[in-house]
Amino acid sequence: MFSDIIPHVDKRVSTEIRKAALKSAAESGKLDTIEISINNKGALKDISSAIYSNLPIYQLFKADRSNNDGDSEIQDPINAIIKVSLAQQHIQRQLESVSKDIENSVKNITDTTVNMLQDMNPSIASDLDANFKTPNWSSVFKFSLDTNSGIPLNKRGSGVRRLILLNFFRSEAKRKLDDAEKENAHNLDIIYAFEEPETAQHPKFQKMLIDSFKTISESKQIQVFITTHSPSIAQIVPKDGIRLIKKDNNDINILSNQEAISGVIDQLGILPNIKLYPDQIECAVFVEGPSDIEFFEYIYNMLSTKKDVEKEKTIFVSGGGTSIVDAVNLKFVGQLRLKKKIMIVDGDDSGKKDISRLDENDDVTTIQLQRSTIEFYLPYNDVKQAFSNRPQIHFSTTEEEWTSGEDQYKLTGKQKSIIKKLDLYSKFNFENLRQDIKIELLEIISTIDRN
């Protein structure tokens, strides 16, 4: 689940927010009772340990982390990684063994020294006692991450250090999740909380971070929360996860659904992302996202029987997807006096939900694809070829499975990124498509062109 709380709120109301969140969760009626096994001692620490082991791991990355010489994680993120490595059990056992060997060796030498001193000055010898202190191993090991230009990481800008720290938090949570699976532990859950992930980051990295958050949130065991002041971040997160926290007369209210979306659009000033043509627009076709726009523009220009000047009066808009900018686009186009508005949605359950959310007054013709996502409309051999030289990106789907177009055979986020990099959505060979897909696409284009 990808959830996000927009906009960021003052820390003075953080306690009230937690109270409101707990109240909202309790009122949702989705809380379950779980029996927890504890030992017979009944000690408070045993009970708390049993409860703690059943709670999700909570990873918080604060926006206002200190940035001074005393903050080793900010100055050199590798220090944080060293601490995590040293905390692993097998390394701890090895260090304890080495430490014990050194302690015994030192004690033997000091005992011999004291015994010899006893012969010369008993009073001084009697006051001596070997006191071994366990070493701080994190200060013993020194590593650095250097760039190809020879600049140490701790000398790079705050944006670079923050970017690495963000990914350190991600990798550490993933490691804990993997360890739990290997040890057949209980179903470990992880909650990521990121305050303003856009801080000091290039817009390209901001989008990459959000795409990464979307990918990891696809796991049922991972939930992602972010806070943001950024309109560019807010417009690309899933709109179903939008939460707007407002304080009215000292009461904290958590808004969701359309009420939250409208509030966020207003407060952050989110604008529609639509390319307007100089000529009069007659038809707007809403699709799920940028990849769908590439695909249908390519198919439309190929299959439409209209002249080029007429084709320009039809635009393809991201308005049927899950992000908040889709809602903004849909609202904006709704205010234009167009002859025709069409929405093309995926063939999965989310596509059905998108259709159900439409207002009757929108006057939108809906088309639901027969396959669950647009990727299944790409030729199988073209997709398979895209991964042939990339063994690190596994693609084992058979042609029969791909042809079925079922939800369970969807491409992963990493696989989709390869397809995008190769521009496969707009550079495939139409003749390589199956006949039934050609017929379906021809019917869609015909619907678009029909007066």
Please tell me the predicted confidence (pLDDT) of residue 84: 65
* Domain end point (choices 268, 293, 326): 268
314 and 183 share one domain:
no
| pLDDT tens digits, one per residue of 365-390 | 889 999 999 999 999 999 998 888 78
Q: How confident is the model at residue 277 (pLDDT cuts 50, 70, 90)?
A: low
**Angle (CA) 121 125 127, round 5°:** 130
Residue 143 lies in a domain: no
246 and 301 share one domain:
no
Number of domains in the chain: 2
Residue 402 lies in a domain: yes
Half-sphere exposure of 203 (CA within 13 A, CB side): 6
Please tell me the predicted confidence (pLDDT) of residue 73: 45
315 and 365 share one domain:
yes
363 and 302 share one domain:
yes
Residue 142 lies in a domain: no
Check residues 186 and 154 and name the one with the higher pLDDT: 154
253 and 291 share one domain:
no
Residue 370 lies in a domain: yes
Cβ(237)–Cβ(226) below 8 Å? yes
Handedness of CA 372, 378, 381, 382 (dihedral sign): negative
Cβ(393)–Cβ(387) below 8 Å? yes
* Domain end point (choices 215, 234, 268): 268
Residue 148 lies in a domain: no
* Domain end point (choices 239, 268, 297): 268
257 and 294 share one domain:
no
DSSP string computed for 282-307: -EEEEESSHHHHHHHHHHHHHH--S-
pLDDT at 179 over 70: no
Q: How confident is the model at residue 149 (pLDDT cuts 50, 70, 90)?
A: low
Residue 119 lies in a domain: no
Biggest alpha carbon–alpha carbon distance for the chain: 113
50 and 180 share one domain:
yes
Domain that holds residue 195: 2-30+39-63+176-268
193 and 293 share one domain:
no
309 and 219 share one domain:
no
SS3 371: coil
Residue 46 lies in a domain: yes
SS3 69: coil
pLDDT, averaged across the chain: 76
59 and 182 share one domain:
yes
Six token digits for residue 17:
């927010």
Residue 198 lies in a domain: yes
**In 10 A of CB 67, how many CB atoms?**
12
378 and 437 share one domain:
yes
| pLDDT tens digits, one per residue of 56-76 | 777 666 655 544 434 444 444
264 and 307 share one domain:
no
Please state the pTM of the whole predicted model. Answer: 0.52
| pLDDT tens digits, one per residue of 318-376 | 876 666 666 677 777 767 777 888 888 888 888 887 777 776 666 788 899 999 999 99
**In 10 A of CB 285, how many CB atoms?**
25
| pLDDT tens digits, one per residue of 183-223 | 655 556 778 787 887 776 777 777 777 777 777 777 777 78
